[in-house]
A and B are shown apart, each in its own frame.
Chain A
């Protein structure tokens, strides 16, 4: 009973294949399991959709082409045509986060323990993703622009003494990007899933409380229904926001100094 209504229990990590090397715990956990499932489903789905390669696309192919057009349009709008060289990266990132978010919407899932798990509700995952983005931005920015990449921290057109203040502010602003990028995705998924579980818990508790209370249990049920729809929107929206901000940061690497 306590576990059934505990809103945090869904985020627990259980090892599936325990593996310890020295003092390092490298177990294959339910989090890893869901990441593998997300990747496998994406690859299998896209391969199946594109296996026909018809001139007039069928249903599956239409979805795959729409995804392609969507991400390509997003990159072209924010980072220009040059940004399209990052298309594979942005597309992978977008589809992985979207798939992980959507898999998290399953309450029960053919997984060890039979319960669903949201990979992106753990900050270590989202932070690793945003650090990857930042590493690519810094790495490519320096590779392409060399020393000029540092212009990002010294915007032109301000009086000389102001650089003492502006440069640290710009550096802090740059360093805060991976944090805000990861916290936003993680907080949205965590808060949404806790909220769902809390309202679901109300139904269980009211149902268990007795005959009169069970009738009121309909109210949190409708709330839950609305929240589930909202969560599907959030799952897509946050993947979109993560991808579009990646594009905006990549634009900085392509054209520093604005």
Chain B
């Protein structure tokens, strides 16, 4: 945390001695620094360019819904298949048919669902990371 940022945080937490309005403590509202924004500042212009480019890239990447769908599908299918396979193998060796394959299928469905949930979390996390990096990376 840089020094002007620290002062800012303290002001947000304890209130302002001069009675200025309370500052909302959200990451988005945090200024880059307390210096006034100069439109000719190189870093400002660079940031604007980078933002524009990133949103462009994002718009292009959004077309990969097909890939995400295929990922969920294959994850779910693999879970079910492995569950059935393990249940079948258990039956084969222990001779409990058809109990093993029944339990295996149920567990396989659960594992497939777990896979899909994990995949969805990863996809969401990637989305969040994009949103984070869209803010200023310097603070």
Contacts and interface: CB of A to CB of B under 8 A. Distances in A.
Interface stretch (A32-40, A88-96, A103-111, A180-188): A180-188
Secondary structure of the B contact surface, majority rule = helix
B107 A172 contact: yes
A169 B112 CA distance: 9
B87 to A, nearest CB: 10
Most buried by A among B64, B74, B86, B114: B74
B77 interface: yes
Contacts of A112: none
What does DSSP make chain A's interface, helix, strand, loop or mixed? helix
Contacts of A169: 107, 110-111, 114
A180 B75 contact: yes
B71 A241 contact: yes
Contacts, number: 58
Contacts of A187: 70, 74
Contacts of B115: 173, 176, 180
B90 to A, nearest CB: 11
A183 B86 contact: no
Given A180-B77, A180-B78, A237-B64, A172 B86 contact: yes
A183 B74 contact: yes
A64 interface: no
Contacts of B86: 172, 175
Given A173-B111, A173-B115, A175-B82, A180 B67 contact: no
A183 B122 CA distance: 19
B20 interface: no
A165 interface: yes
Contacts of B83: 172
Given A169-B111, A173-B114, A187-B74, A241 B67 contact: yes
Given A165-B110, A180-B75, A172 B82 contact: yes
Nearest to A191: B70
A159 B94 CA distance: 30
Interface in A109-149: none
Contacts of B118: 173
A255 interface: no
A80 interface: no
A177 B67 contact: no
Nearest to A185: B74
A218 interface: no
23 contacts: A165-B110, A169-B110, A170-B114, A172-B108, A172-B110, A172-B111, A173-B79, A173-B111, A173-B118, A175-B82, A176-B75, A176-B111, A177-B78, A179-B78, A180-B79, A180-B115, A183-B74, A183-B78, A184-B70, A184-B71, A187-B70, A237-B64, A241-B67
Interface of A: 77, 165, 168-170, 172-173, 175-177, 179-180, 183-184, 187-188, 237-238, 241, 248
